[in-house]
Amino acid sequence: MSLSAFISYLKLEKNYSQHTIKAYERDLVTFSDFCREQHDEQDMVTVAYPLIRNWIVHLSEQGVSNRSINRKISSLQAYYKFLLKVGDITVSPLIKHRALKTSKKVEVPFSEMEMETILSEIPFGDDFEGCRDKLIIELLYATGMRRAELVNLKVSDVDLSSGLLKVLGKRNKERIIPFLPSTAQQIKTYLDKRTRLEKISDSHHLILTKEGLKIYETLVYRTINKYFSLVSPKVKKSPHILRHTFATHLLNRGADLNSVKELLGHSSLASTQVYTHNSIAELKKVHQKAHPRNKK
């Protein structure tokens, strides 16, 4: 079965995002090239596990982290699972594979003070780009949406009168997210600046470049990194950390896990529970401070 058939399966049946599909395709092409160049083996369908193990060693020697290697192997596992499904193979070569050990990834959210400083004290500028950059940060923090969801947000998805917006998440699942009056005001300010652009080539998407085109994911990342470098010493400054911050701050202030799960668009509570680490730390502080048996 060709790689193109697998890619079509991911797109049409699994409803994966274009970003995810490209990642799968990139991993599989890289493995196919390794098979051909290093071992004169061109057909991924018939490979045995020792060849995959050699690829793992090769990646490790190139300095690829265990976490990244595990992700690449996950792409292979999905491919061989598909081959099993269509009957091209009877046993996956990865049936006995065990993932490489990785250190626990700790993502530190921004503090409430850092968020307040960014949104209330940092000068963004009164031009189109300044208003747009502030809106990017405001929307990510106020709604917890993913970077790709922000990029694809349309003008028609935002209802200013009701304070709700519609997001198309992973696997084309829609969800409705409320936003704050401050966010609504920032959207109005941005839209006013947007109408003054010389040219708007994309009138459907909400957030545009100064050339009037749909923004792209790298621009969102650069925006977050640029402004948070002014207020935060944290090493990692990314759109995902803002999503992490959104969830953590809600949980710290008493939001229940199921509500946060719905807002984030997670399919299971297990995905949301990774954000409870910081809220538990906050609860411990409150407990120790308030409990009468705690001797100071």
User: 71, 205, 240, 277: which one is catalytic?
Assistant: 240
pLDDT of residue 41: 60
Domain made up of 112-287: CATH architecture: Orthogonal Bundle (1.10)
Distance CA 109, CA 77 (A): 32
Give the active site residue among 146, 194, 249, 261: 146
Instruction: Compute the distance between CA of residue 112 and CA of residue 270 in angstroms, rounded to an integer.
Output: 25
Name which residue leads in pLDDT, 2 or 84: 84
Cα 104 from Cα 117, distance rounded (Å): 30
Cβ-in-10-Å burial (0-12, 13-18, 19+) of 32 comes to middle
- The pLDDT value given to residue 170: 82
pLDDT of 277 above 80: no
Same-fold call for 3-86 versus 112-287: no
Q: b vs e for 126-153, b when ≥16 Cβ sit within 10 Å of the residue's Cβ? A: eebeebbbbbbbbbbbbbbbbbbbbbbb
Active-site residue 171, yes or no? no
- Whole-number mean pLDDT of the chain? 88
| Residue 243 is a catalytic residue | yes
Centre a 10 Å sphere on the Cβ of residue 83 and count the other Cβ atoms it contains: 18
pLDDT digits (tens, 9 = 90+) for 59-98: 998 888 898 999 999 999 999 999 999 999 999 999 989 9
Domain regions of the chain by residue span = 3-86, 112-287
What is the reported pTM?
0.66
Is pLDDT above 70 for 198?
yes
Fold of 3-86: DNA polymerase; domain 1 (1.10.150)
Catalytic residue at 170? yes
Instruction: Band the pLDDT of 152: cuts 50, 70, 90.
Output: very high
Give the number of other CB atoms < 10 A from CB of residue 7: 17
Catalytic residue chosen out of the listed positions 170, 193, 205, 277: 170
240 is catalytic: yes
Residue 292 pLDDT class (50, 70, 90 cuts): low
| pLDDT at residue 293 greater than cutoff 60 | no
Q: What is the pLDDT of residues 155-188, one digit of tens each?
A: 999 999 999 999 988 878 899 999 999 999 999 9
pLDDT category at 105 given cuts 50, 70, 90 is low
